[in-house]
């Protein structure tokens, strides 16, 4: 099995803050930025649960250079639209002083359902992350690589941490975003699955027992994506700069390539199992 770099395509998703130009408080923008953005970059921009959040996602990028160009363009485009509408944008895992209680929830059935289910945990989940998708040749390989790359999550996460403040307080954490998100179920570093069938059966069991209604409600720090042939890394705070985002994306891509190379030689990186 030869290493096929074409398999390791990239998709990068970033969540931005919408801010008041004068006070830099979080600002509910009534999806004006999203609506204007969709006229230019189509479905590469979308709303999030809180109105003070805007999410963007790149195209499927063949390599890290394409990802750099796409992320740069998205940031410039959204920043320009926000400026024209009287807002400004920010990038950090949590806002340092705004309070979530004053922020509006987006009027959408999916978000209403999540708020109804998780209540205060959902309303307070005002955080901003970076998600990196690395393309795989098939879901079996995605499961193998997800199992092995779990080990590296804390190392790359440590490079991204930039959310030490919450509601005007210094929390004592490098990334308080992760502590906010901990209140959600099905978060954190997942366990291993012996096969993609075992993973699929796990998802089916959660659906059958009414824990979830679809696999996208599994919010682990790393997951085999339920719909795409990708491994999705979800653990990082959103970096402040494009260079930092692309560096982290490149690290995740390189880690996947390394595990793939080991697999081609019938080797693997050490896997640590959880013990109750």
Residue 16 dihedral angles phi and psi, to the nearest 5°:
-105, 155
pLDDT value, residue 72: 98
Name the nearest CA neighbour of 131 among 223, 20, 254.
Answer: 223
β-pairing, 165-166 with 169-170? antiparallel
> Do 98 and 19 touch, CB atoms closer than 8 A?
no
Q: How far is CA 122 from CA 63, 132, 142, 229, in A?
A: 35, 23, 29, 28
Name the nearest CA neighbour of 12 among 262, 275, 239.
Answer: 239
pLDDT values of the chain reduced to their tens digit, one per residue, 276 residues:
455 556 799 999 999 999 999 999 999 988 999 999 999 999 999 999 999 999 999 999 999 999 999 999 999 999 999 999 999 999 999 999 999 999 999 988 888 999 999 999 999 999 999 999 999 999 999 999 999 999 999 999 999 999 999 999 999 999 999 999 999 999 999 999 999 999 999 999 999 999 999 999 999 999 999 888 999 999 999 999 999 999 999 999 999 999 999 998 999 887 766 544
Distance, in Å, from the CA atom of 94 to the CA atom of 147, rounded to the nearest integer, reads 29
Q: Distance of alpha carbon 192 from its chain centroid, rounded?
A: 20
Distance, in Å, from the CA atom of 151 to the CA atom of 93, rounded to the nearest integer, reads 22
**Residue spans per domain, the chain:** 7-264
> Do 271 and 264 touch, CB atoms closer than 8 A?
no
Find the helix or strand (DSSP H, E) in which 132 lies.
strand 129-135
The angle formed by the CA atoms of residues 38, 35 and 25, to the nearest 5 degrees, is 120
pLDDT value, residue 142: 96
Distance, in Å, from the CA atom of 170 to the CA atom of 164, rounded to the nearest integer, reads 6
Question: What percentage of the chain carries pLDDT values higher than 90?
Answer: 89
pLDDT value, residue 238: 98
pLDDT value, residue 59: 98
Spatial neighbors of 7 by CB under 8 A, at least 6 apart, are 135, 136, 137, 141, 260
Distance, in Å, from the CA atom of 61 to the CA atom of 179, rounded to the nearest integer, reads 31
Structure tokens at 83: 């400026």
Q: Distance of alpha carbon 214 from its chain centroid, rounded?
A: 18
pLDDT value, residue 272: 67
What is 7-264's CATH topology?
Creatine Kinase; Chain A, domain 2 (3.30.590)
pLDDT value, residue 275: 46
Structure tokens at 164: 């030490």
Q: Residue 104 carries which DSSP code?
A: P
């Amino acid at each position: 099995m030869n290493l096929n770099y074409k398999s390791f395509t990239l998709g990068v998703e970033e969540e931005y803050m919408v801010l008041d130009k004068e006070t830099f408080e979080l600002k509910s923008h009534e999806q004006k930025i999203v609506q204007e953005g969709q006229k230019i970059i189509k479905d590469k921009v979308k709303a999030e649960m809180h109105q003070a959040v805007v999410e963007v996602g790149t195209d499927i990028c063949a390599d890290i250079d394409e990802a750099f160009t796409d992320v740069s363009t998205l940031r410039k485009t959204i920043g320009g639209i926000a400026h024209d509408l009287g807002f400004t944008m920010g990038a950090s895992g949590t806002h340092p002083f705004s309070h979530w209680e004053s922020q509006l929830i987006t009027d959408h059935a999916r978000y209403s359902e999540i708020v109804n289910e998780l209540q205060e945990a959902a309303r307070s989940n005002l955080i901003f992350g970076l998600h990196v998708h690395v393309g795989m040749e098939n879901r079996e390989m995605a499961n193998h690589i997800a199992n092995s790359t779990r080990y590296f999550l804390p190392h790359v996460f440590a490079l991204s941490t930039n959310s030490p403040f919450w509601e005007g307080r210094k929390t004592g954490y490098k990334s308080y975003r992760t502590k906010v998100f901990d209140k959600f179920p099905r978060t954190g570093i997942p366990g291993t699955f012996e096969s993609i069938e075992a993973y699929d059966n796990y998802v089916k069991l959660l659906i059958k027992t009414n824990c979830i209604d679809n696999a996208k409600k599994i919010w682990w720090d790393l997951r085999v994506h339920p719909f795409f042939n990708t491994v999705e890394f979800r653990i990082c705070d959103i970096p402040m700069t494009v260079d930092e985002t692309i560096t982290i994306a490149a690290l995740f891509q390189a880690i996947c390539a390394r595990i793939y190379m080991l697999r081609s030689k019938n080797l693997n990186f050490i896997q640590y199992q959880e013990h109750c």
